[in-house]
């Protein structure tokens, strides 16, 4: 398993970028959703490019959707499904995570 972050670092209304493999850029997006955590690859299904234009700039101002700043596609934060924009109906790639009893979030697999 790959360590990602602490649960306490994640919020419901904003997402953070993570670089767990030291690629020099945030390849994953993580946020709280309900009692759990959602982690997606930071690749828009429209053109397979990173979603953000600034550090941790992954969500709309109202905190309701993930957004790709290239062409404005909106994604559900629970499923990663695009609900508005040029990749409507496509989804961000979701990754499985687990949370241990110390509040550490791990990528499974
Ligand atoms: S590259 Fe993300 S909406 Fe076009």
Ligand 1 atom index nearest CA of 68: 2
Which protein residue's CA is at the shortest distance from atom 4 of ligand 1?
71
Domain limits of the chain? 2-107
Whether 108 is in the pocket of ligand 1, judged by its Cβ within 6 Å, is: no
100/35: higher pLDDT: 100
pLDDT value for 87: 98
pLDDT tens string 32-51: 998 889 999 999 999 999 99
> What is the whole-number distance in angstroms between the Cα of residue 62 and the centre of ligand 1?
20
State the CB neighbour count (10 A cutoff) for residue 93.
12
For the domain covering 2-107, report its CATH number: 2.102.10.10
DSSP for 20-70 reads TT--SS--EEEEEETTEEEEEES--TTTS--S-SSTT--B-TTSS-EE-TT
Assess whether pLDDT exceeds 90 at residue 109.
Answer: no
**What mean pLDDT is predicted for residues 50-62?**
95
CA distance 109 to 106: 9
Ligand 1 atom index nearest CA of 85: 3
């Amino acid at each position: 398993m790959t360590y990602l972050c602490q649960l306490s670092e994640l919020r419901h209304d904003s997402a953070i970028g993570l670089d767990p493999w030291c690629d020099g850029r945030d390849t994953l997006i993580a946020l709280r959703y309900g009692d759990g955590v959602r982690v997606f690859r930071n690749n828009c299904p429209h053109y397979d490019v990173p979603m953000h234009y600034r550090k941790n700039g992954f969500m709309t101002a109202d905190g309701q959707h993930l957004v790709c700043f290239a062409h404005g596609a909106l994604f559900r934060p629970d499923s990663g499904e695009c609900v508005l924009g040029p990749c409507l109906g496509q989804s961000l790639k979701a990754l499985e995570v687990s949370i241990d009893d110390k509040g550490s979030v791990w990528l499974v697999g």
